[in-house]
Structure formats: structure tokens, C-alpha cells
Amino acid sequence: MQTSRYFFALWPNPVVARQLAALQAPLAGGRLTHPADFHLTLAFLGQPQPGQHAALRRIAQTLPRPAFELRLDRVDTFERLKLAWVGPSAVPAALLALRDQLGHALDQEGIWYDKQFSFRPHVTLARKVTVAPRPLGAPVIWWADRFVLAHSHPQPNGAKYSLA
């Protein structure tokens, strides 16, 4: 069984989670993300070193993070992963600033994160399915004000997530 993996993310409120769940209707053939597990990953950390957990909690508690509007208005697929997602067609400057601040804090603590990959903000709707890229008729408007440190719990049918 895999071990827990950690990540920093924006976590939606229940109203936004319900709106995201409604977008899953045409994805019935895939493995749907549970509404309680919707999130937008800012930095994937993998399995941090045991001595780094205190620094991660400190970053989660002290990183300045103003709330901002996130307009999820596009569905698409990461083809290689067969992962259907929803995301913004225009990335808010506040989201990029938060990601940069987080990266700087992680670098200062010497904590590895996925900075080698380009940042494409998205919320996973389903795995093992593809969708045609398209704009949403009615965007999901998310007041992004919940920044968390989370980790995965491997399960036979995929991972469940919880706040660290």
C-alpha cells in the first residue's frame, strides 16, 4: 500500500463543491472525484522528510493569503493521465502570487515540491475519462479563501484526502 503524500491546496466551500459535482454528470464512465475531495493543488510535496512536518504546518499557518475570486470556466483533459478537469481560462494574479509565495517559503525551508512542472491550476473532476476541451456555459465562481496543507490516504479505489 502506498504511503500518504502531502500537498498545499485551495479547498472549496460546500456550495462550490456542489457546483463542481454537478459538472461530473457527463463523466459517468470515469472514476469521479468525491465532492469532499475537490481541491486545487498549489504545490505537490510527495512524502516530506519526517523533520519537515513542523515547517509545513508553520507555512500553512503563517503564509499571507488574501482571498480572491477564481472563475472556473473551462473543462479539459490531461490526455496522458486521462484526467478530466475544470479550471480558469485566465489565471488570477492573486493565485500566481500565492503560488510564488508558497514556493519561496518551501525553498527557504529546503522542502521539495513540484516546481519543475508548469503550473496549470485545475480541479480534477474524474479520472480514467476524457472530455472535449470547451468553455463552460455557466462558470463556477469560487471565492478562494481556504488555503490548506492536506494529505492523501491511499484506498483500493483511489485516494481520499484530509487536512493535515
Instruction: List pLDDT tens digits, range 121-133.
Output: 999 999 999 999 9
End-to-end CA distance of the chain: 20
**Residues with Cβ within 8 Å of residue 54, at least 6 apart in sequence:** none
pLDDT value of position 2: 62
pLDDT in tens, 90-115: 999 999 999 999 999 999 999 999 99
The residue count for the chain? 164
Question: Over 90: is that where the pLDDT of 65 sits?
Answer: no
Angle at 62 between CA 56 and CA 68, to 5 degrees: 105
50: left (phi over 0), alpha (psi -120 to 50) or beta: alpha
Between CA 42 and CA 122 the distance in angstroms is 10
Task: Parse the chain into domains and list their residue ranges.
Answer: 6-68+91-118+146-163
Domain 6-68+91-118+146-163 listed as CATH 1.10.420.10: no
